[in-house]
């Protein structure tokens, strides 16, 4: 056990902190709650460009492709410091967190040169095309077909739940290239230009009222064969790489975002009245705030342990697979706690002058509902733990 | 950064596991459980040979000089094996108190005896209020005049202590008392006249609780371990170290529950297939693993902060105890549920852990107690400028 940062990590953290102090925009909170989705996205693109130009994007990516060439630990420090400083997220979040690392792992030299730097600068925004209307939790049942025709694949099919599909220049698309194949075999991972003829993007309105997600339709879309990532027919392995990154990385920022909200909730509880005294003096409120803190700490520590395990051994340990269930369910409990402590005002949404923090709490309550579904449902995660970590027999 | 056991720490854990598998397997636990004190002198001597009885104390007093992480690693294995007896009472509670507040002579006499495995001890703290709060200590210690019953004066103790673990086999007890309104800790021989120890049978069959009454028990001036701030700090330190050790045991117990439940789910067949095939069973096992690993992360972080004298240690220990208290109980529930009727039998080991989980949840403060401690550091800090101005209005 040694949780101290080494001198290099300390130096990295201090430099980053200093940069963030003078560069984090102070009007992000306002843009976050009041901008249209498109305006907010433009704001985030400008922010990512600034981060990139200052040399902070792609901390652990190789230097030759525009990254910083630093350690995974420094990447984690970057995520922690960004969140702790209240910095806006990166616009190209899927490119940075999921697709970029997959290209680093599976891409050809030409692909790395072609795509990586533009992901870091935010010049090209990425979405991912994995789920389909009939292939959600059962992802291996996907049917979007990609048939080789000369030096192109011809893609036909439909994808769904594509975050940032409306903003994307490129799509990481998992297809079935062998029509006779079943399940995990015969899949191919393609990098698809969203401007290709035959690609149609339709917004998908979610229960928060926003349209973060889209549906994507592909009709005879021609994709050059050189855009295959990994080998033809090996798409499942490549996609698993992306999913592993998704599970390993989403948790860090989710945990810190929750912690920041908890600190704000503590502050609000000191200002609010409940049964004639401050809410923060009410024993039940204190118990609930402390329980949120306990759960948040356990998330933070599980995450640290998982990162440490990856650094020591190169692979996530069993604790890696419990992170997704951990942050998603803890966030839902936390949002329910916040609603309860803040009382009737907490239900009010953005635009009402009575809403607390301009409706941030009603939004985060609704948004959290999706947490146990996106990036693999809690049920699927528990199946994975049961069958792949504990070695219980397969149930399907 | 390395969040995990070093090679040496892992070696300590592995050797503890091997040693306990040989010396304290489940039949031995069940045998001791049926005895009056759940204590075995021969086993204790072997613990001493391993260096466990002096694990965290200076070599000067025959200790082993290891740190909190090493201690936690060893205790995890003891909890996994459900080791009966007075380890936490003697080594972590009494030992740490002596180490923190004892003078040279007291350490040489009492701490060394503990380290060498020659003496058993415990702390008599709780009273009728059953509160872990040190302000709740009432037991009266009256100063005796010189030339009275003792030539150099001393103290006379009157009152009653409850929930004193392993008092029945303690060669000496450390007693929290109040002398002229001031918190104090005294060393009282287990056979002192006026001292009476009555077993109060509890759920955990591997660890005995006692009611200890003091009727005009006389203690010499040399028996005073500390008074006032010195006594308070030593008691707080002993409670933190013991709480950490207890959480380590709880993590080990959780590990055992996961192991035995998963093994059962893989072999028990219903509807023609192993019950582990069913997601309703898989998901309970998955949740047990999450409870175990969360507790383990919280444990080793707390152990590390305490070993670094990090001010975050106090809250980190509370986080670990609050989380593990509910996790261990919950995992016990799930384990028995998954094992169905078999899980509800006396012969199945699950209930031994379920019982230990309940006793461990209560000891050194339950989740509610520790959440309030966390609330004090999370909420009751210096108010912000805005709050201060609101309060002024």
Count of structural domains within chain A: 3
- Give me the percent of chain A exceeding a pLDDT of 90: 76
Structural domain containing residue A194: 126-233
Distance CA A350, CA A355 (A): 7
Check if A325 contacts B (Cβ < 8 Å): yes
Q: Which residue in B73, B283, B286, B369 has the most chain A C-beta atoms within 10 A of its own C-beta, making it the best mutation to test that interface? A: B286
Q: Which residue of A has its CA nearest to B300?
A: A1
Q: Do A386 and B286 touch (CB under 8 A)?
A: yes
**The CATH number of domain B7-119, selected from 1.10.10.10, 1.20.120.350, 3.50.40.10, 1.10.540.10:** 1.10.540.10
Do A259 and A211 fall within a single domain? no
pLDDT of the residue at A71: 87
Residue with tokens 């199946």: A383
Do A19 and A60 fall within a single domain? yes
- A1 occurs within a structural domain: no
Q: Do A1 and B6 touch (CB under 8 A)?
A: yes
Distance CA B197, CA B200 (A): 9
Q: What is the mean pLDDT of the segment spanning A314-341?
A: 86
User: Dihedral sign, CA of B12, B14, B20, B22?
Assistant: negative
pLDDT of the residue at A245: 64
> Tens digits of per-residue pLDDT, B314-338?
999 999 999 999 999 999 999 999 9
pLDDT of residue A20 exceeding 50: yes
Give the list of residues 6+ apart from residue A304 with CB closer than 8 angstroms, or none: A3, B1, B3, B297, B301
Do A92 and A199 fall within a single domain? no
Q: What is the mean pLDDT of the segment spanning B265-292?
A: 97
Q: Which of A124, A132, A212, A246 does the annotation list as catalytic?
A: A246
CB nearest A386 (choices: B2, B9, B285): B285
Q: What is the mean pLDDT of the segment spanning A290-305?
A: 95
Percent helix, strand and coil across chain B, each rounded to 5?
55, 15, 25
Q: Could you give the angle at the alpha carbon of B247 between the alpha carbons of B100 and B162, nearest 5°?
A: 65
Q: Do B297 and A305 touch (CB under 8 A)?
A: yes
* CATH H-level superfamily of B122-226: Butyryl-CoA Dehydrogenase, subunit A, domain 2 (2.40.110.10)
Q: Do B279 and A395 touch (CB under 8 A)?
A: yes
Q: Mark whether A246 is an active-site residue.
A: yes
A208-212 own/partner pairs: CB under 8 Å, 24+ apart: A208/A363, A208/A366, A208/A367, A210/A37, A211/A37, A211/A166, A212/A37, A212/A163, A212/A164
Give the list of residues 6+ apart from residue A313 with CB closer than 8 angstroms, or none: none
pLDDT of the residue at A246: 65
Mean model confidence pLDDT for chain B? 95
Q: Which residue of A has its CA nearest to B274?
A: A393
Q: Do A386 and B384 touch (CB under 8 A)?
A: no
pLDDT of the residue at A98: 87
> Tens digits of per-residue pLDDT, B371-382?
999 999 999 875
Q: Do B286 and A382 touch (CB under 8 A)?
A: yes
Mean model confidence pLDDT for chain A? 92
Q: Which residue of A has its CA nearest to B70?
A: A1
Contact B235, B134 (CB under 8 A): yes
SS3 A63: helix
Q: Which residue of B has its CA nearest to A396?
A: B277
pLDDT of the residue at B383: 52
Do A213 and A227 fall within a single domain? yes
Q: What is the mean pLDDT of the segment spanning B191-197?
A: 98
- A394 occurs within a structural domain: no
- A323 occurs within a structural domain: yes
pLDDT of the residue at B393: 44
Distance CA A98, CA A244 (A): 9
pLDDT band at A320 (very low <50, low <70, confident <90, very high): low
pLDDT band at A29 (very low <50, low <70, confident <90, very high): confident
> Tens digits of per-residue pLDDT, A372-381?
998 889 999 9
Domain ranges for chain B, please list them: 7-119, 122-226, 231-378
Q: Do A266 and B274 touch (CB under 8 A)?
A: no
| Residues pairing with A221 in the sheet | A155
Q: Do A385 and B289 touch (CB under 8 A)?
A: yes
Q: Which fold does the domain B231-378 belong to in CATH?
A: Butyryl-CoA Dehydrogenase, subunit A; domain 3 (1.20.140)
pLDDT of the residue at A172: 97
pLDDT of residue B390 exceeding 60: no
Q: What is the ipTM of this complex?
A: 0.95
> Tens digits of per-residue pLDDT, B55-93?
999 999 999 999 999 999 999 999 999 999 999 999 999
pLDDT of the residue at A306: 87
Q: Which residue in B2, B3, B263 has the most chain A C-beta atoms within 10 A of its own C-beta, making it the best mutation to test that interface? A: B3
pLDDT band at B1 (very low <50, low <70, confident <90, very high): confident
CB nearest B387 (choices: A271, A389, A394): A271
Nearest CA distance, B298 vs chain A (angstrom): 6
pLDDT of the residue at B392: 46
> Tens digits of per-residue pLDDT, B277-289?
999 999 999 999 9
Nearest CA distance, A269 vs chain B (angstrom): 9
- A2 occurs within a structural domain: no
Q: Do B387 and A266 touch (CB under 8 A)?
A: no
User: Backbone dihedral region of A72: left (phi > 0), alpha (psi from -120 to 50 degrees) or beta?
Assistant: alpha
Check if A53 contacts B (Cβ < 8 Å): no
Contact B257, B335 (CB under 8 A): yes
pLDDT of residue B386 exceeding 80: no
Residues of B in contact with A286 (CB under 8 A): 371-372, 375, 379
CB nearest B262 (choices: A308, A309, A390): A390
Do A48 and A134 fall within a single domain? no
Q: Which residue of A has its CA nearest to B301?
A: A301
Q: What is the mean pLDDT of the segment spanning B141-149?
A: 88
Nearest CA distance, B159 vs chain A (angstrom): 32
Q: Do A286 and B2 touch (CB under 8 A)?
A: no
Q: What is the mean pLDDT of the segment spanning B227-243?
A: 98
pLDDT of the residue at B388: 52
């Amino acid at each position: 056990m040694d949780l101290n940062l080494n001198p290099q990590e300390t130096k990295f953290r201090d430099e980053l902190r200093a940069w963030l102090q003078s560069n984090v925009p102070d009007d992000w909170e306002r843009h976050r709650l009041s901008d249209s989705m498109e305006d907010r996205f433009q704001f985030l693109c400008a922010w990512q460009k600034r981060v990139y130009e200052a040399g902070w994007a792609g901390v652990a990516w190789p230097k030759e492709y525009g990254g910083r060439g630093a350690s995974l630990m420094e990447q984690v420090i970057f995520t922690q410091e960004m969140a702790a400083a209240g910095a806006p997220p990166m616009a190209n979040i899927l490119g940075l967190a999921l697709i970029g690392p997959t290209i680093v792992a599976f891409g050809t030299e030409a692909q790395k040169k072609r795509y990586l730097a533009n992901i870091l600068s935010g010049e090209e925004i990425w979405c991912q095309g994995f789920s389909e209307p009939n292939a959600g939790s059962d992802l291996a049942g996907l049917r979007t077909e990609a048939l080789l025709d000369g030096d192109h694949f011809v893609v036909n099919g439909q994808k769904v739940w594509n975050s940032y599909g409306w903003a994307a220049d490129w799509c990481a698309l998992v297809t079935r290239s062998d029509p006779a194949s079943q399940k995990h075999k015969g899949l191919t991972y393609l990098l698809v230009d969203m401007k290709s003829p035959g690609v149609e993007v339709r917004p998908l309105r979610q229960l928060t009222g926003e349209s973060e997600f889209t549906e994507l339709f592909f009709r005879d879309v021609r994709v050059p064969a050189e855009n295959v990532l990994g080998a033809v027919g090996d798409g499942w392995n490549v996609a698993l790489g992306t999913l592993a990154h998704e599970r390993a990385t989403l948790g860090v920022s989710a945990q810190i975002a929750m912690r920041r909200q908890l600190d704000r909730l503590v502050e609000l509880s000191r200002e609010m009245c409940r049964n004639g005294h401050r809410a923060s003096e009410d024993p039940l409120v204190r118990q609930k705030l402390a329980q949120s803190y306990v759960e948040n700490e356990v998330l933070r520590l599980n995450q640290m342990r998982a990162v440490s395990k990856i650094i020591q051994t190169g692979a996530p340990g069993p604790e890696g697979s419990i992170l997704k269930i951990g942050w998603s369910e803890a966030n839902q409990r936390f949002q329910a706690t916040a609603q309860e402590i803040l009382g009737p005002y907490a239900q009010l949404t953005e635009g009402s002058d009575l809403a607390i923090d301009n409706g941030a709490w009603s939004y985060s309550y609704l948004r959290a509902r999706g947490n146990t579904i996106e990036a693999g449902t809690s049920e699927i995660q528990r199946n994975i733990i049961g069958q792949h970590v504990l070695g219980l027999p397969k149930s399907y | 950064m390395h969040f995990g056991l070093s090679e040496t720490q892992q070696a300590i854990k592995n050797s503890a596991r091997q040693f306990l598998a040989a010396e304290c397997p489940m039949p031995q636990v069940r045998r001791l459980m049926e005895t009056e004190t759940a204590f075995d002198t021969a086993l204790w001597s072997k613990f001493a040979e391993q260096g466990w009885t002096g694990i965290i104390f200076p070599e000067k007093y025959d200790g082993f000089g290891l740190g909190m992480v090493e201690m936690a690693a060893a205790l995890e294995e003891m909890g996994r094996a459900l080791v009966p007896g007075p380890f936490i009472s003697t080594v972590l509670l009494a030992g740490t108190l002596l180490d923190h507040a004892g003078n040279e002579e007291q350490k040489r006499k009492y701490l060394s005896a503990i380290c060498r495995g020659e003496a058993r001890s415990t702390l008599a703290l709780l009273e009728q209020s059953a509160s872990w709060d040190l302000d709740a200590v009432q037991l009266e210690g009256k100063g005796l005049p010189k030339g009275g019953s003792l030539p150099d004066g001393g103290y006379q103790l009157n009152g009653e202590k409850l929930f004193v673990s392993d008092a029945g086999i303690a060669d000496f007890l450390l007693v929290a008392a109040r002398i002229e309104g001031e918190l104090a800790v005294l060393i009282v021989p287990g056979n002192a006249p006026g001292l009476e120890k009555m077993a109060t049978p509890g759920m955990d069959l591997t660890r005995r609780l006692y009611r200890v009454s003091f009727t005009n028990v006389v203690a010499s001036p040399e028996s005073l371990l500390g008074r006032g701030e010195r006594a308070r700090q030593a008691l707080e330190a002993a409670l933190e170290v013991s709480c950490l050790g207890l959480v380590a045991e709880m993590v080990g117990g959780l590990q055992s529950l996961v192991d035995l439940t998963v093994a059962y789910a893989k072999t028990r067949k219903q509807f023609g297939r192993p019950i582990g095939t069913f997601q309703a069973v898989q998901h309970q096992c998955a949740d047990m693993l999450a409870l175990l690993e969360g507790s383990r992360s919280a444990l080793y972080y707390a152990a590390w902060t305490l070993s670094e004298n990090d001010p975050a240690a106090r809250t980190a220990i509370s986080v670990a105890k609050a989380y593990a208290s509910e996790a261990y109980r919950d995992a016990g529930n799930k384990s028995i549920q998954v094992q169905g009727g078999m899980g509800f039998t006396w012969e199945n080991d699950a209930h031994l852990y379920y019982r230990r989980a309940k006793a461990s949840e209560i000891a050194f403060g339950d989740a509610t107690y520790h959440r309030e401690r966390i609330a004090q550091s999370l909420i009751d800090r210096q108010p912000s400028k805005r709050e201060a101005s609101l309060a002024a209005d």
